[in-house]
Amino acid sequence: MTIIAFQGEDGAYSQEAIFEKFGAETPTLACPTFVDLFRAVESGRADLGMLPIENSTAGAINQSYDLLLDYDLKITREAVFRVRHAVMALPGVALADLKRVYSHPSALAQCERYIAERGWQPIVAYDTAGAAKQLTTARETNAGAIASETAARLYGLQILARGVEDLSNNYTRFFVIGHAESPRAEKSKTSVVLATRHIPGALYECLGEFASRGINLTKLESRPDRRKPWHYVFYLDFEGHWDDAPCRDALIGLLTKSSFLKVLGSYPAADQTKEEKDVS
């Protein structure tokens, strides 16, 4: 069976996303860091990796973008997962007893208003499920964790509150990464990363390759170019497969206008119809 790696402890949202998209019996491999996730897929210890790329509330996950540039792995699929946070604590601890709460920075950001209204001290943990596991070990009676209900069950914690995310339309977008090209789908998206020449209008000219061909960009994210201080690389997602004639021509045009271009993959686009219905 296909083994899928994820970052975090058992019970992490990434693992829940794997079970939702691939089935509850899917073998998974827990990895302490995002680098470990990429190395597991690169080395063959895992066949695929479930990589969170951005959250609808907290924004982009920068390290994920940086590692897509560093490693020669392909994006094979896009997945969107509804994140529902829960506050949990040791058995016998009440919500009024809490003084601080542990979780991953992204989860803390997604629950920022809820935490502030209760006067809790937010404390960063490396992972949501890891925060739950840490709480079980430390046995703190005035602290809680924000994680999934699955994590609470796994680590013997009681759930004190459910749905504590500040916004109901709280989704995390994932890339499924692997070695192989994804088969062409009826509805595809493509992700690329590029660097522009350091001249006026360089990014404008690059984006014009898409606009002039009627190709819709769905994402544009800039990140520092770690090879050159004060230079930047740009991550683009656009509708279509790289081998569609308009997309292929746009990429050829980019080769003449950019100083660097890497195609990260063409993949089946996630069906967001269900997510839109959930919010409405």
| Mean pLDDT on 184-191 | 94
Tokens at 28, concatenated: 């998974």
Whole-structure pTM over 0.75, yes or no? yes
Distance CA 161, CA 180 (A): 42
CATH of the domain at 201: 3.30.70.260
The answer to whether residues 42 and 71 touch, using CB atoms and an 8 Å cutoff, is yes
Domain that holds residue 195: 188-268
The answer to whether residues 209 and 259 touch, using CB atoms and an 8 Å cutoff, is no
Distance CA 66, CA 169 (A): 26
Closest CA to 2 of 191, 184, 263, 179: 179
Confidence class of residue 276 from pLDDT cuts 50, 70 and 90? very low
| Mean pLDDT on 211-220 | 97
- Position 131 pLDDT exceeds 90: yes
Residues 11 and 73 in one domain: yes
Confidence class of residue 1 from pLDDT cuts 50, 70 and 90? confident
Residue 131 lies in a domain: yes
**Active centre residues (catalytic):** 172, 174
CATH of the domain at 35: 3.40.190.10
Tokens at 156, concatenated: 């013997």
Number of domains making up the chain: 3
Confidence class of residue 279 from pLDDT cuts 50, 70 and 90? very low
Domain termination site, one of 146, 180, 214: 180
Residue in the structure block whose two tokens are 């350091």: 198
Residues 66 and 174 in one domain: yes
CA atoms within 13 A on the CB side of 181: 10
Domain termination site, one of 129, 151, 180: 180
